[in-house]
C-alpha cells in the first residue's frame, strides 16, 4: 500500500539558509529549462536530460543527481499540466467555448524539491539531505502512525507555514488481517467522541472547550471584518482543525492498540446508526457535524490495516435503542441522552456503553440486522424491521445503504 506521510523537519537558522539556497538554485534550474522545454515541446524526461543535462550542470553547479531531478520536475510538470488542460478542453469543447493552450510553466523560488533515495535518506531519527553546501542531518518529527516497516519511494522537500516538511511517499507491506474471534465495539457519539464496549470513554469535553473558545473569537473577528481579522480567522480555523486531527490520532491509536493487544477486531457502525441518533437539538447537530467523524473512522481503519487488525463495519440501525442484555428494541429504552434502561428486562447502563456492546455483538454474529428494502419479501425481513413494525405498526423508512 502506498501512502504519503508528512514529516516536519527541525532546522537551525543556518540549516534553514542552506535549504532555502538549495531550493532557490533547484527552482532556478527548472526556470532556466522550462522555456527550452516549452519552445521545443520536449516534455519527455529522457529527451530533456539529453538536451540540457550538461549545460545545466556547467551553469548551475548542481550535483549530477540534483540536475537530473530538476529536469525531471520540469518534464513531469509539463506532462501533468498538459493532461489537466486536455481534460478542461473536453468540457470547454462540449460547451462550445474557446479552448485553452498549454502555457509556459514557471516555478516558485521556494517550490518543492523532489528528492530520491540517492540524495535523501531517512534514518531512524534523522534525515540526511543533500544541499548545495553538502549533506546535512536534520531531526524530524515522526507521526505515531508512521509505519515501522516502510520503504520510502520518493520524498518532496516542501516549505510551508514557515517550516520545512518532507512529504514522504512510503510503501508498506500489506498485512493479511486475521479473522478475529472477538470484537472491540466502538460507539461514536456527540457527548462522547468514542466509547468502547469495554467501557473506555473518550469525552469531547476538551475539544468542545476549544471549539467554544474559537467560536467566541470567530464571532468577534467576523464582526470586525477587517483584512487582518480575516487573516486571523483563517489562522484559528486551521488551529482548530489541527487540534481535532491530533485528538483523532490519539483516540484511533489507543483503540487500535487495545484491539491489537487483545487480538480482537474492531467493530464500527455504519453512518445510519449515527444519523438516526442525532435528530437532537440544532446546537448538537452542528457540534456533531463539525466533529470529524469521517476522519476518526478513517484513522481507525488505516491504523488497524497497518498492523493487521480487522475492522468490520456493521449495520448501525437501533444500536442505541436495543438492550445489550436481552436484545429488546424500543425507543423508550433511552430515557435520557446518557442513560439506557431496558423496559423488558430492567437492564440499566450508560447509553454509549450499551451501544458499543451491541456493535461488538453484531460484528461477531456476522449477519446484518436490517435489510435494504422491506419489499424484497418476508424471508429477508430482518429482526429490526420486525421489531419496529411490532412497536409502531409500520415499517421504518428505507435506510441508507451501508458503507
**Contacts with Zn ion, residue ranges (CB under 5 A):** 323, 325-326, 328, 342, 344-345, 347
Q: How far is the CB of 182 from Zn ion (least distance, A)?
A: 22
Q: How far is the CB of 340 from Zn ion (least distance, A)?
A: 9
Residues in the chain: 403
> Angle between the 227-261 and 293-306 helix axes, to the nearest 10 degrees?
40
User: Can you list the positions of beta strands (E) in 197-249?
Assistant: 201-203
Question: Do the beta carbons of residue 107 and residue 31 sit within 8 Å?
Answer: yes
**Residue with smaller CB distance to Zn ion, 250 or 326:** 326
Q: How far is the CB of 327 from Zn ion (least distance, A)?
A: 7
Q: How far is the CB of 371 from Zn ion (least distance, A)?
A: 24
Q: How far is the CB of 293 from Zn ion (least distance, A)?
A: 28
Nearest to 272 by CA among 360, 369, 400: 400
**Residue with smaller CB distance to Zn ion, 247 or 354:** 354
**Residue with smaller CB distance to Zn ion, 186 or 323:** 323
Q: How far is the CB of 341 from Zn ion (least distance, A)?
A: 9
Q: What burial class does residue 92 get, using C-beta atoms within 10 Å of its C-beta: 0-12 exposed, 13-18 middle, 19+ buried?
A: middle
**Residue with smaller CB distance to Zn ion, 4 or 345:** 345
**Residue with smaller CB distance to Zn ion, 129 or 323:** 323
- What gap in Å lies between CA 373 and CA 384, rounded to an integer? 12
Q: What burial class does residue 320 get, using C-beta atoms within 10 Å of its C-beta: 0-12 exposed, 13-18 middle, 19+ buried?
A: buried
**Residue with smaller CB distance to Zn ion, 344 or 380:** 344
Starting from the edge strand earliest in sequence, which strands make up the sheet with 192-196, in order?
201-203, 192-196, 183-188, 265-269, 311-314
Question: Do the beta carbons of residue 272 and residue 320 sit within 8 Å?
Answer: no
Amino acid at each position: 500500500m502506498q501512502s504519503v506521510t508528512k514529516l516536519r523537519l527541525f532546522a537551525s537558522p543556518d540549516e534553514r539558509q542552506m535549504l532555502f539556497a538549495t531550493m532557490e538554485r533547484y527552482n532556478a534550474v527548472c526556470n532556466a529549462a522550462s522555456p527550452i522545454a516549452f519552445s521545443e515541446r520536449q516534455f519527455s524526461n529522457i529527451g530533456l536530460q539529453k538536451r540540457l543535462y550538461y549545460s545545466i550542470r556547467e551553469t548551475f553547479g548542481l550535483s549530477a543527481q540534483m540536475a537530473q531531478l530538476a529536469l525531471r520536475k520540469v518534464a513531469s510538470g509539463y506532462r501533468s499540466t498538459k493532461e489537466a488542460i486536455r481534460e478542461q478542453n473536453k468540457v470547454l469543447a462540449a460547451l462550445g467555448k474557446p479552448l485553452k493552450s498549454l502555457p509556459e510553466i514557471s516555478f516558485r523560488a521556494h517550490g518543492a524539491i523532489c528528492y530520491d533515495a540517492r540524495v535523501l535518506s531517512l534514518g531512524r531519527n534523522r534525515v540526511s539531505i543533500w544541499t548545495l553546501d553538502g549533506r546535512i542531518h536534520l531531526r524530524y518529527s515522526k507521526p505515531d502512525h508512521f509505519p515501522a516497516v516502510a520503504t520510502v519511494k520518493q520524498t518532496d522537500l516542501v516549505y510551508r507555514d514557515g517550516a520545512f516538511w518532507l512529504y514522504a511517499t512510503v510503501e508498506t507491506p500489506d498485512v493479511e488481517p486475521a479473522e478475529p474471534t472477538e470484537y472491540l465495539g466502538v460507539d461514536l457519539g456527540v457527548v462522547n467522541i468514542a466509547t468502547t464496549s469495554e467501557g473506555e470513554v473518550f469525552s469531547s469535553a476538551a475539544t468542545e472547550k476549544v471549539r467554544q473558545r474559537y467560536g467566541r473569537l470567530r464571532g468577534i473577528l467576523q464582526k470586525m471584518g477587517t483584512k487582518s481579522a480575516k487573516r486571523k480567522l483563517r489562522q484559528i480555523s486551521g488551529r482548530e482543525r489541527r487540534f481535532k486531527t491530533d485528538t483523532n490520532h490519539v483516540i484511533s491509536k489507543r483503540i487500535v492498540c487495545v484491539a491489537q493487544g487483545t487480538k480482537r477486531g474492531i467493530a464500527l457502525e455504519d453512518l445510519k446508526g449515527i444519523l438516526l441518533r442525532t435528530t437532537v437539538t440544532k446546537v448538537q447537530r452542528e457540534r456533531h457535524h463539525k466533529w470529524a467523524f469521517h476522519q476518526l473512522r478513517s484513522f481507525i481503519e488505516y491504523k488497524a490495516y497497518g498492523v493487521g487488525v480487522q475492522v468490520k463495519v456493521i449495520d448501525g440501525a437501533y444500536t442505541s435503542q436495543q438492550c445489550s442484555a436481552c436484545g429488546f428494541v424500543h425507543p423508550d429504552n433511552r430515557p435520557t441522552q446518557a442513560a439506557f434502561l431496558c423496559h423488558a428486562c430492567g437492564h440499566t447502563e450508560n447509553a454509549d456503553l450499551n451501544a458499543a456492546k451491541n456493535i461488538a455483538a453484531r460484528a461477531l454474529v456476522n449477519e446484518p440486522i436490517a435489510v435494504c428494502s422491506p419489499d424484497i419479501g418476508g424471508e429477508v425481513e430482518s429482526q429490526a424491521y420486525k421489531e419496529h413494525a411490532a412497536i409502531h405498526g409500520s415499517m421504518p423508512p428505507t435506510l441508507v445503504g451501508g458503507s
